[in-house]
Amino acid sequence: MRIEYAAADPLGLALIWNGAKLSELGLVWFKDISGELAPASPEGAALQQALQTYVQGREPRWPALPLDFERFSPFARNVLLLLKDNIAFGETTSYGRLAAMAGNPRAARAVGRVMAMNPYPLVVPCHRVVGSTGQLTGFSGSGIPMKRFLLELEGGRAK
C-alpha cells in the first residue's frame, strides 16, 4: 500500500494505492495533512490539478483514475457509477431519486449506506446527495461542515 497527497488549500486528498488500483481517496481539510504534499504519480499530479480548479469554484475535469469498483456489490457499483456520471457540478439529488435511477425506488436507505462507504469523494460526488427535502444528512470523514462547504463551493444549495 502506498499513500500520496493532492492538496489545494483548503482541501486535501490522500490517495491510497493498492498496487495499480486506487483503493481510496481520503478527503480532509488541508490543515489536517501532514507529510509530503507533492503527488508522486502521474494520476496524483492530474488529480492535484483538478483539485486546484475545484477549490476555485470551477468545474474540474477529474482524471481517469484506476478506481477499484470490483469490490462492491452490483447494486453499490451501479449507484456509485450513476452518481459519478449523472449528477453534475452544482447539482444535488436525493437518496430516493438516486435509488430510483438505480432501478429500486424504495432503496433510499440502501443508497445512504452506499454513500457512507464511498471511497472516492469528489470524484464520485456523494456530497451532492441530500435528504428528500434538501436537508444535509450524514457525510463521512469531515461531516456536515465539509458537505456544506463543498455544495457552497459548487454554487449548489446547502440547507
Domains of the chain, residue spans: 2-55, 74-153
Residue 51 bears catalytic tag? no
pLDDT digits (tens, 9 = 90+) for 77-111: 999 999 999 999 999 999 999 999 999 999 999 99
Model pTM score: 0.90
Q: Tell me the three-class secondary structure of the chain, residue by residue.
A: CEEEEEEECCEEEEEEEECCEEEEEEEEEHHHCCCCCCCCCHHHHHHHHHHHHHHCCCCCCCCCCCECCCCCCHHHHHHHHHHHHHCCCCCCEEHHHHHHHCCCCCCHHHHHHHHHCCCCCCCCCHHHEECCCCCCCCCCCCHHHHHHHHHHHCCCCCC
Give residue 7's pLDDT band: very low, low, confident or very high (50, 70, 90): confident
Catalytic residue among 27, 87, 122, 126: 126
Query: What is the topology classification, in CATH, of domain 74-153?
Result: Arc Repressor Mutant, subunit A (1.10.10)
